[in-house]
Structure 1
Amino acid sequence: MKPMLPIEEYFGKLELVHSFYGAMPTGVSVSETGRIFICFPKWGDDVRFTVAEIVEGRLQPYPNLESNLNNPSDITMTFISVQSVIADGRGTLWVLDTAAPNFSEPIKGGAKLVAVDLKTNAITKVYTFAEDVVLPTTYLNDVRFDFRVGKSGYAYITDSSSNGPGAIIVVNLENGNAFRRLNGEYSTSPDPYFLPKVEGEILMNRNTDGSTSPFRMASDGIAISPDGKNIFFCPLTSRHLYSISTETLRDRTIPDSNLRYHVQYWGEKGASDGLITDAKGNVYAGDYENDSIRKILPNGMMETIAHDPRILWPDTFSIAPDQYLYVIVNQLHRQARFHYGKDLRQKPYSLLRIKIDELPAPTF
């Protein structure tokens, strides 16, 4: 009888919340009342609606189907390709529309940040961006909010461009004024020495014609401290974690050339897509190379709270009032673009959760 050989240990009690048998999801957000919202960017799948709510176990277009039917004659009030949805804890769902299906150049005037009232399910505010903010290379990825500064608060958005400068876009929610910070800096750029390895294979662009190129994406994950004073962020193709004071980001008297000196380096945390913070200031980050979820404490110490073969590319996180950490798992690395045109994803994609016994970081 052959002896049983030791195998890798997996841990972390994950629960399945929802299975997706259609388009691939990227974003999740749980509201203060427990409503769950999902988004589906248009990356080649048959996306019938780019924003949805899970209602009694089924996906329903949100806020309605009409808003999800892109209308070229009214691109500010209809969604084109949504990458992120964020419930702000005070009755609003924010929708971040890249306006860049299949990572194309953003449709002019279509990239936007949209506020939807969760009581009326109606769009109440739309913020669009000037051409010096959303560049031809821009891919709006994720957003965090703080309503304790200014008259109406601020939003902080990552530009995760694959062929242009990464940045953090700062938006004054009172007047819509927006500007780029850390534009093309090392901390918002792909790590040129990083070689991602997922499921034992180097992750790179592998085209149908047989050509290959490195996989490179800029600043992606973003999280805000519970007091709103610091932003944590990371490029998608990097293992590094950075932070910067939000006051510094908003202070345009500090030249862009000097802003890099205000960035704090937190060390390696694994290669992450999404980030989130809880009410105690802990940062949660995925590790897509190792099927894991990390927790970085305010003192910089790090622990792994889940390591499970089902965590095939942890994308976006959300912390709910039930003190669970929700995570979208979507097999992003198995897409056809990385495998010479062969789609290796296996449905269903999943929304998982793990009990962390912590509340979401407040925004107001």
Structure 2
Amino acid sequence: MKLLSAIAATVFTFSSTNVTYAADAEQVAVVKGTQITGVTVSNQGDIFVNAPNWRDGVSFAVARINKSTDKFTPYPDNAYNQCVANSDVRDDCFLAVQSVVASNDKLYVLDTRNPKFQQVKDAPRIFVIDLNTDKVEKVLTLSAQAYHQDSYINDLRIDHKTNRVYMTDSAHAGLVVYNLNDDSSYRILDNHHSTRAQVQTLNIQGKAFTMQVQSDGIALDTYNDTLYYHALSGYTLYAINTADIKQGGDIANKAIWEVAKTGAPDGMILDKRGNLYLADLEKQQVQYLTPAHDLRTLVEGEAVNWADTFSIYNNYLYYTNSKIQDAGKDVSNMHFEVYRVKLPD
């Protein structure tokens, strides 16, 4: 993979032992004029990103980054990406993609079907692409019970133990579950205090961010069968055991617990050692919460500018800079990067 630059970062930790971990953030790729949010790296090392439908003229919804040229190529082909520019509502192409996740040789493309936050046009869905053939093999469509008209289904995690997909709704607070065994889908913790935003305004690099964002970041601990989630406009990380996630009826408050106080993050992810990575958007940092609940800083500074979404591959954390606080109606002269940073030992 061609690395365009390396930016040194001053980092520190919040641990009681005052151990300092230093890391360099390496720029992997950059695209001009297309705001990217999601990133994921497949088992083969292929990097995929997505661009949300937040303005007219978006050049692609999903793209694969060419390893030798660093160019962004619409994926799986141009046809599936032709609807996003003009918000054409069709079943055979992407409308408003917010997240991409590679898992077990498949790419899960989460389409909110809510372009420009103007209400859901039809049911939100997940396009499942076979990475061996580069073909869409199925589409998982949410039932009417799983979303609201103002929903913005934001991020997802695949639970291969229970054969379920977990998602957050960042517009209408709550979590969404898709059961792959019977293709049913439903909501949990709908408008629950743990999925609601806690504050109205964030201060991002001296700029007031006043769009209140509900449940957003989500991470799955497959070793302890625990699902973590966090509102973007908030400072509390919550968790629930996957065994307590059931369709029908209310989930008891005792099944949900407060894990830690953190900065306001966007995406989240766990590594194999149990470290939970999340951004502090207001401090331009990528942090990680250790299994001992020490909150440490992995990287900070110019290489972190609204670290949006994370992926882990070959002992590196990959993330996008979506620069949401700076991106207005016209981003044609802005650059949006994918970075990677080595995981702590």
Aligned positions of 1:185-334 closer than 5 A: 185-191=192-198, 193=199, 195-204=201-210, 215-227=211-223, 229-249=225-245, 251-252=246-247, 255-256=249-250, 258-320=251-313, 322-334=314-326
Which of 19, 22, 39 is 2:33 aligned to? 22
CA drift at 1:46? 2.5
Over 3 Å counting, the alpha-carbon distance change for 1:247 and 1:47 in structure 2 is: same
Over 3 Å counting, the alpha-carbon distance change for 1:345 and 1:315 in structure 2 is: farther
Look up the match of 2:91.
76
Look up the match of 1:181.
188
For 1:344 and 1:79, the matched residues in 2 are separated by: 21
Does structure 1 conserve the Cα–Cα contact (< 8 Å) formed by 2:31 and 2:72?
no
Partner of 1:299: helix, strand, or coil? coil
Residues 34-72 of structure 1: per-residue CA shift (max 9 Å, x gap):
000000011115212200000131111100011112399
- 2:173 is equivalent to residue 166 of structure 1: yes
Moved more, 132-141 or 195-204: 195-204
Residues 89-125 of structure 1: per-residue CA shift (max 9 Å, x gap):
x11000000111111111123x101110000000111
Identity of matched residues, %: 30
Over 3 Å counting, the alpha-carbon distance change for 1:352 and 1:73 in structure 2 is: closer
Look up the match of 2:111.
97
CA drift at 1:74? 7.8
Look up the match of 1:361.
none
For 2:136 and 2:224, the matched residues in 1 are separated by: 26
Over 3 Å counting, the alpha-carbon distance change for 1:96 and 1:48 in structure 2 is: same
- 2:78 is equivalent to residue 52 of structure 1: no
Moved more, 128-137 or 267-276: 128-137
For 2:319 and 2:235, the matched residues in 1 are separated by: 19
Partner of 1:14: helix, strand, or coil? strand
Number of residue pairs aligned between Structure 1 and Structure 2: 322
CA drift at 1:335? 2.6
- 2:138 is equivalent to residue 125 of structure 1: yes
Over 3 Å counting, the alpha-carbon distance change for 1:103 and 1:73 in structure 2 is: closer
Does structure 2 conserve the Cα–Cα contact (< 8 Å) formed by 1:182 and 1:259?
no
TM-score when scaled to structure 2?
0.88
For 1:73 and 1:308, the matched residues in 2 are separated by: 39
Over 3 Å counting, the alpha-carbon distance change for 1:42 and 1:344 in structure 2 is: closer
CA drift at 1:330? 1.7
Return the letter of the residue paired with 1:184.
N
Does structure 2 conserve the Cα–Cα contact (< 8 Å) formed by 1:76 and 1:112?
no
Return the letter of the residue paired with 1:44.
R
Question: Structure 1 stretches of 5 or more lacking a match?
Answer: 1-8, 205-214, 359-364
